[in-house]
Structure 1
């Protein structure tokens, strides 16, 4: 079986993630291709798409939110993602058990004795009027019936049990707004797709194929790390004969789509600025293809990072309209020049052309 080293996997990841060459894709198609963008920090997806698309206009993403073509919702790993509406409807039920278990993992003691089916029914009844509510408002409305858990566990569980969308203006470009929840059925005008039989797991198969298209080649542990589901074994088994297999340097089996791009490992990789919590890093269990183990903590701490030669080589922040870059090691002169040029472009994007200032710390 062919062994793919980390550099080969890196170039495949960059190509699938639209980071090797910026793509000429409509914004909705890019969001769908990527399987959604992690978005608990509401403005971060804009930088993620700017780094991936040519001539990206942030107003286009805002408009998709307002037109209900993309939705902010808890989905993969029970983190807030910005997901194409069609995918939310198709995928949400497959994530139900995981979402419930992740809340229980944090608040199991608080929720002991709460009948979750009853709580779900009460939550649906409360939200049936389609009125947006904050999590605190949801919890307050239910605490008379369930006083013991406390508002936070109660609100968290209701928003896991009842498929919810987080409404704009949260997530709109340059807009600050709190989280207001409304049932996805009210927001999109139809219920999410009902759970399918897990005998062959058709929704799981769709998730596997979409994941490999945007993240492969990858191990089932990587798939699990991306979606938070338990490896999707039935789906993988049903698809296995249609997939190709490789090994990584650790001996893990990697699955992939036969015709998916796997560029030459020596393909030049441009500098790219990634937002906080970008799935190009978080979408893997083994992230060594893109980030050194010593720096792995950056990816879960919300640090924005810079890719140089395809790997995490710096962090970045914005201070007084200046993009400030903190290298993790020594940059060559050519690398420093490339980082500065891309940083200037990012500063201009973030300031609507008002600043192109960039500072690279020594």
Structure 2
């Protein structure tokens, strides 16, 4: 990682700057669609996290706002960064997926044995025909592809289709308060317009800094699941400002982006599992104290997290109208009262009943 002699930003200063970009210092009046665009998408392996992510960040948010945007096809669920499902605006789905397409192609190397003898170009053509004829579940897609390649590994065939094609999960999957199995079609078919040519990463670098900066080249590469982004940062360097973190790593930023004082108050926030705030930097100590590294994960599963004073401070679980909060350390009485008030607000926003039970206890069993 590149070292620099620029001004030093402490972990606390980086924390406040990133929270400000993420609308977690003060909630924003942005619409749900505009917030999804500003944040370059929301991690969405599960259905509910995008809704909770926006509830923590937006004033006046209601889950139905995002759900209606999804029904109107203004936002979609699609595999993009880090090979994970994200909720993106329609425009971003058509541009960010081409940006990371090479990385999706490289994934297929992990399935080489199961795809022996499979013509991947032919697979892409056939898969497109199948899902554009009608949305297909992964099971239906596997079964149809096995007719063409009966000796191939069924799971590898489905992964190849997902990697080769920009497949979106069609509604009602992802809608608030409704259930639906995963059914897929291409983003172009769903939106009725073509994907964009593969862009240079420069514009996305600027947007990333606007949402997650100040950040290093490695930070953005971690967020995007890409490599070799140094050239883009160097092209943009004349229009950026640079700092260094406490380890001497060079950080880039937009000149006019907010960098609040390190002592700016940071209210408690309840974040969903897989929130991008905790996933989008190579060095996560700006949010996760070093002694709590790994506490928000177990295997491949992420827990819902609680921020207090801007940093990871605990986990939470919601079951019906009961919120259980597990703290990693002690809080002052005022901090506990603020956490309870934020939990009450979250429950009201997300459509809970008028009766709430908020408990401090154990989340991880």
TM-score above 0.5: yes
Matched, 1:172 2:175: yes
Q: Which moved more, 1:145-154 or 1:181-190?
A: 145-154
- TM-score of the aligned structures, taking structure 2 as reference length: 0.93
- Provide the rounded CA distance (Å) in 1 between the counterparts of 2:336 and 2:162: 45
- Provide the rounded CA distance (Å) in 1 between the counterparts of 2:206 and 2:176: 31
User: Residues 259, 4 of structure 1: CA spacing in aligned structure 2 closer, same or farther, 3 A cutoff?
Assistant: same
- Provide the rounded CA distance (Å) in 1 between the counterparts of 2:125 and 2:231: 30
Who is 2:151 aligned against? 148
Secondary structure of 2:284 counterpart: coil
Q: Which moved more, 1:352-361 or 1:43-52?
A: 352-361
CA contact (8 A) 2:62 2:349 kept: no
Gaps of at least 5 residues in structure 2 are: 1-5
CA contact (8 A) 1:218 1:254 kept: yes
Who is 2:279 aligned against? 282
- Count of matched residue pairs: 354
Who is 2:245 aligned against? 248
Who is 1:221 aligned against? 218
Q: Which moved more, 1:72-81 or 1:115-124?
A: 115-124
- Provide the rounded CA distance (Å) in 1 between the counterparts of 2:330 and 2:112: 46
Q: 1:231 offset after TM fit, Å? A: 4.1
- Provide the rounded CA distance (Å) in 2 between the counterparts of 1:93 and 1:123: 18
Secondary structure of 1:307 counterpart: strand
Select the residue among 116, 119, 134 that pairs with 2:137.
Answer: 134
- Provide the rounded CA distance (Å) in 2 between the counterparts of 1:185 and 1:74: 14
Select the residue among 123, 126, 133 that pairs with 1:122.
Answer: 126
Secondary structure of 2:226 counterpart: coil
Who is 2:314 aligned against? 314
Matched, 1:72 2:77: yes
Q: 1:262 offset after TM fit, Å? A: 0.4
Superposed CA RMSD: 1.5
CA contact (8 A) 1:222 1:286 kept: yes
Q: 1:70 offset after TM fit, Å? A: 0.3
Q: 1:233 offset after TM fit, Å? A: 2.8
Once the two structures are superposed, the pairs formed by residues 333-348 of structure 1 within 5 Å of their partners are: 333-348=333-348
Q: 1:122 offset after TM fit, Å? A: 2.1
Q: 1:352 offset after TM fit, Å? A: 3.5
Matched, 1:266 2:271: no
Q: Which moved more, 1:210-219 or 1:108-117?
A: 108-117
4+ residue runs over 6 A deviation: none
- TM-score of the aligned structures, taking structure 1 as reference length: 0.94
CA contact (8 A) 2:321 2:353 kept: no
Q: 1:344 offset after TM fit, Å? A: 1.6
Who is 2:86 aligned against? 81
Q: Which has the higher contact order (CA 8 A, sep 6+)?
A: 2
- Provide the rounded CA distance (Å) in 2 between the counterparts of 1:360 and 1:293: 24
- Provide the rounded CA distance (Å) in 2 between the counterparts of 1:355 and 1:66: 31
CA contact (8 A) 1:170 1:177 kept: yes
- Provide the rounded CA distance (Å) in 2 between the counterparts of 1:37 and 1:104: 27
CA contact (8 A) 1:104 1:111 kept: no
CA contact (8 A) 2:61 2:349 kept: no
Q: 1:17 offset after TM fit, Å? A: 0.4
Who is 1:102 aligned against? 107
